[in-house]
Amino acid sequence: MGEGDEGYGEWQELVGAALLGTDRRRGGGPAGSPEALLDAAAVHTVRRRAGLRPAGARPRPEPAPPDPRPAPPEAAARRLAQLLAGRTGAGSGGGGGRRGSAPDLTELLPQWLAAAGRHGYRAPAALVPALLDAARARTDLRPQALALAGTRGLWLARMNPDWRFALRGGAGGGELPDVNDPSAVERLWEEGLFAERVALLGAVRAHEPAAAPRLLATTWASERAEDRLMFLDSLRAGLSLADESFLEAALGDRSRNVRATAAELLSALPQSALAGRMAERAVACVGPQGVTPPAECDGGMLRDGVVKRPPAGRGERAWWLGQLVEAAPLSCWRERFGGLGPAEIVALPVAAAEGWTEELHAAWCRAAVRQRDPEWSRALLGPASAPPAAGPGTASLAERAKLLETLPDGERAEWVAEFVRAHGLSEAFQLLGVCVVPWAGALGRAVVDALDIAREAGSYPWSFSGVMGLAERCLDPAEAGRLEALTATAEEPPDASPGAAAYWAEAFQRLVSTLRLRAAMLSELTPP
Amino acid sequence: MTEQGVRWTAEQVLALAPDDASRKAGGRLGGAGPWSQIGGSASGSVWGLCKGSGSNPYRTVVDLTGPAYKCSCPSRKFPCKHALGLLLLWSAEGVGEPGEAPDWAAQWLADRAAKAARPAGGAAAPVDEEGARRRAERRAARIGAGVTELEQRLADLLRGGLAGQEHTGYAAWEETAARMVDAQAPGLAGRVRELGTIPSCGPGWPARMLEEAALLHLLDRAWMGVAGLPDQLAATVRSRVGLPASGEGEAVRDRWLVLAQYDSVSPDGRLTTRRIWLRGVAGGRPALVLDFGPPGRPPGLALPVGLVLEAEMRFRPGSAGLRADLGERFAAAAPCTEVPAGVSTQAALEAYGAALRDDPWLESWPVVLGPVVPIPGELGWQLADAEGTSALPVSLTGAGSRSRGGLWQLAALSGGGPVTVFGECGHRGFTPLTAWQPGSSEPVALS
């Protein structure tokens, strides 16, 4: 804002006189006495305020590209506002305060985002800043939050440094050129933001797998190491033999992380040359006669991504063996063991004498996960009812959870349900975490039954708070009715912890109300 | 309207929350889970039982015309989380067909209705006019003495010069402010305190301090000659000095749209002031309703942004005709369905300038601006006319100024395009409070 030029000089004189003081400014000044100075200043101030004029507008921001997706229904938008407002709330996480019977809103945000994403909605504009803040604080929310925020989110992120992360990761959300227009593709590839380039690469690859490595190769030498790594990482989904020669070349990259990632990706392609080389090395070490770990780590192994120095506390030969077996295609073992299947091979007492079994089975587990091989995973998991420590593959729950992820959804839920029925809930948390949401009927029932058994045993519900939290998020909302009966405060068993029954009733109440809330939330998010 | 009028939005409900914690707690209770026996009446009330940690559920009733709340929980928050949860539930799902209130709710609702029916001000107490006049005279004399002292203080300031004020510090002005409190002139005390903080406010402070000192001087002089001023200006001077409004103001009936509501806490933390901006839908007249709360307790009056109240507004004399008290209401509040018409940046400044004629001490004037485009900038934001080259700077220092979060919300709504914005337009710039995005009549309160 400004005012007319006339009078400005006079005002400056008044300010000067006021700074100096009327005592020190005898004669000739615009205002002799302090009162006269204040009078003049008052007139000036009111006149200036009454005569304010607008300022000249600075350049306007480029308008955000339009987002053709529909806004979610009003009720759903309100729900999102509520979930985002509750985000910073206390009470989630920390084992501090008791949670009471009210649902935990923070944990429902990812489900809302996922459902809205499935229906192809965009975020309501007013909520985009809150959504970006949420994504800034929680990296697990980023892909979905950014996809939902779309072009409006990217537009904002360009102006606010707090949201710069959005310009890197995420699904882009910008408008991509037609992949059949080579010059448009080339321009965006050379000038676009990182997120736009990743999105472009994905689009090109979906259109023609072989074109993606060609596009990458055009600028590969000039990309920064961290960008090269992220580009390679973006090849992970939908990896195919079309990527092989590019990855093979990346084995000679300047950056060690890039080399390692290229090797890892190649080993997930059983038909690749690297997988073939690894198979050769691995079968030379492991066979029906026993295990002979490699004696040295040669240049070829190094180039194929084998790390020479073991972590502290591990022998280097065992370390190399693990890496070779992990990277070798699992299909090579059937022939090596004379036509035996995975289950039989796993059961063989190979090399038990030398004490290599554990090393070998752990490597097979990693290979099964990397190559997403359900048959091997099944063999390494063993029956769900067997005691976890006696399993053939691994006793580690984290590893088992990874193996489970390679099984088909139904089988996975069935295996975990069986596990819960046999061993209860105390070790089931990680395994439940990899099951598809909402949980299949049998799995849900197994969990609820196990919770009921825990209640009858008289322990406190917070011993099961992890599983309870999962159940709130993952149980099929349709189970709410069946659970209602458990929300009544039951008779306390004679040997129960004092007050446990009331706490259980409260915990089940929260479970039911969260399920109801989820059902309401999903029903608001009707397809457009 | 089949039940309790048009339902409010969740934002409007959450705007009633006294603090963040209640907002969150209320949000958690906004599902059907803990509730039973919920219902509502055609006359505009809802009720329900909320299961808490105890064996007896809490009984919660809300009179939507107030809104006013009653809950059997021990919380001292107002409204409590149960009332908020109940309102959220009502906002999201409704409470079914109107019905009879259960006894526990009906009693309270009946008491409220009875109280509302009683004439305002109660029975006419015998007025001791003579005593009142003497008290007023005594107070005027004390204020007069305070004003004289303050004039002396200002003259000393100008005689010695402003230079050096940034070193002398705040304490001397704090003492003068205390003298004004003793003189029963809280309005002067507030301005003096404000004046004392200017030297520490960064570059340009001498000009700002001269402005404020001059306006304070103007107020002193106006008080000394208040008997000779026109009625409206005299009322303005009295209220600026800190005397309570005397005499009945004009009563205006209209449909009043709630444009903004925000709280500010006094520097000493002892008083929360809630400002509620309204505008007559038919007459276009702006109104400012204030409510106050002691420490730890938010003000009781809460009017969610975007609601329209059919009511009588009693305007106080003076203060450019902005200050008003909410009088009788004639219907339950309902959401507004249209966006108020906006004016250009030039017209906004002209409106502020015109208002200064009635109240030269006015800091800002309520304006619906638009269509305008927000222009973010690292040093300062602007709101530019959609057509033309003029813009207003966005002020982040006014009474209603927000964190930058609200500005980003405004930018997000605009997406670089034109929006309609309500805010306070003053000599520091424009402070946005509420915005409408194109194609939607639902206002977004900028947080």
**pLDDT value, residue A88:** 43
Average pLDDT over residues A394-414: 89
**Which of A84-98, B14-28, B326-340, B416-430 is predicted least confidently?**
A84-98
Residues of A in contact with B405 (CB under 8 A): 129
Assess if residue A466 is contained within a domain: yes
> What is the average per-residue pLDDT within A126-144?
90
Closest CA to A235 of A246, A224, A225: A246
Residue B272 pairs with which residues in a beta bridge? B265, B293
Q: Positive or negative CA dihedral for A455, A457, A460, A462?
A: negative
A459: containing domain: 408-524
- Answer yes or no: is A96 within a domain: no
Asked if B51 and A509 count as a contact pair (C-beta separation under 8 A), the reply is yes
> In this structure, is residue A481 part of a structural domain?
yes
The last residue of one of the domains, among B220, B241, B262, is: B241
Q: Which 3 state secondary structure label does DSSP give B288? A: strand
pLDDT tens column, A194-207: 878 888 888 888 88
Q: What is the ipTM of this complex?
A: 0.79
**Closest residue of chain B to A158, computed from CA coordinates:** B376
Tens-digit pLDDT profile for residues B294-315: 776 778 788 889 999 999 999 9
Q: pLDDT at residue A96 above 50?
A: no
Amino acid at B396: L
With contact defined as beta carbons under 8 Å apart, do A246 and A228 qualify?
Answer: no
Average pLDDT, chain A: 85
Where is the domain boundary, B214, B241, B268? B241
What does the pLDDT read at residue A350? Answer: 64
Confidence band for A314, pLDDT divided at 50, 70 and 90: confident
Whose tokens are 């036509």? That residue is: A339
Q: Which of A20, A51, A514 is nearest residue B163 as measured by Cβ atoms? A: A20
Instruction: Count contacts between A and B (CB, < 8 Å).
Output: 223
Judged against a pLDDT cut of 70, whether residue A237 lies above it is answered with yes
Q: What is the pLDDT of residue A354?
A: 62
* Domain harbouring B313, CATH code: 2.40.50
Percentage of residues in chain A having pLDDT higher than 90: 39
The answer to whether residue A455 is domain-embedded is: yes
Helix, strand, coil distribution of chain B in percent, nearest 5: 35, 25, 35
What is the helix, strand, coil percentage profile of chain A, to 5? Answer: 60, 0, 35
Per the domain annotation, does B3 fall within a domain? no
Q: Decide if A494 is inside a domain.
A: yes
Average pLDDT over residues A154-158: 92
pLDDT tier at A390, thresholds 50, 70, 90 = low
Q: In this predicted model, what pLDDT tens digit does every residue of B51-100 receive, in sequence order?
A: 877 778 888 998 887 778 888 888 877 788 888 888 888 887 777 778 88
Interface test with A, best of B6, B51, B159, B210 (most A CBs within 10 A): B210
Number of domain units in chain A:
2
Within a domain: residue B246?
Answer: no
**A23/B161 touch (CB, cutoff 8 Å), yes or no:** yes
pLDDT at B121 over 50: no
Query: B125 in a domain, yes or no?
Result: no
Residues B16 and B108 in one domain: yes
pLDDT at A182 over 50: yes
Chain A residue with minimum CA distance to B416:
A63
The residue among A24, A26, A44, A45 with the most chain B CBs within 10 A of its CB, best to mutate, is: A45
Number of compact structural domains in chain B: 4
Residues in chain B with CB shorter than 8 Å from the CB of A14 are 210
> Does B43 fall in a domain?
yes
Residue A391 has pLDDT above 70, yes or no: no
| 3-state secondary structure labels for all residues of A424-441 | CCCCCHHHHHCCCCCCCH
Inside any domain, residue A471: yes
pLDDT given for residue A478 in this prediction: 85
Q: Is residue A186 part of a domain?
A: no
B126 falls within a domain: no
Q: Give the domain extent around B406.
A: 345-445
pLDDT beyond 50 at A94? no
Whether B236 and B262 share a structural domain: no
pLDDT tier, B4 (very low <50, low <70, confident <90, very high otherwise): low
Assess contact for B154 and B220: CB atoms under 8 A. Answer: yes
For the CA atoms of A20, A26, A30, A33, the dihedral, rounded to the nearest 10 degrees, stands at: 80
Please report whether residue B127 resides in a domain.
Answer: no
Instruction: Give me the mean pLDDT over the A325-339 stretch.
Output: 91
Give the residues across from B394 on adjacent strands.
B430
Residues of A in contact with B412 (CB under 8 A): 125-129, 152, 156
Q: How far apart are CA A259 and CA A424, in angstroms?
A: 43
Q: Which pLDDT belongs to residue A97?
A: 42
Residue A351 pLDDT > 70: no
Write down which residue in B221, B241, B261 finishes a domain: B241
Distance, in angstroms, between B15 CA and closest chain A CA?
Answer: 12
Within 10 A of A423 (CB to CB), how many other CB atoms are there?
17
Report residue B141's pLDDT band, with 50, 70 and 90 as the boundaries. Answer: very high
Neighboring chain B residues of A509 at a CB cutoff of 8 Å: 33-34, 51
- B428 in reach of chain A (CB within 8 A): no
The residue that leads in pLDDT, A179 or A321, is: A321
Q: Which of B345, B357, B369, B408 to mutate to test the interface with A (most CBs of A within 10 A)?
A: B408
pLDDT mean across residues, chain B:
86
Instruction: Select, from the ranges A44-58, B26-40, B237-251, the one with the highest average predicted confidence (pLDDT).
Output: A44-58
Helices and strands, number each (H, E), in chain A:
27, 3
Q: How many CA atoms does the CB half-sphere of B298 hold within 13 Å?
A: 20
pLDDT at B1: 37
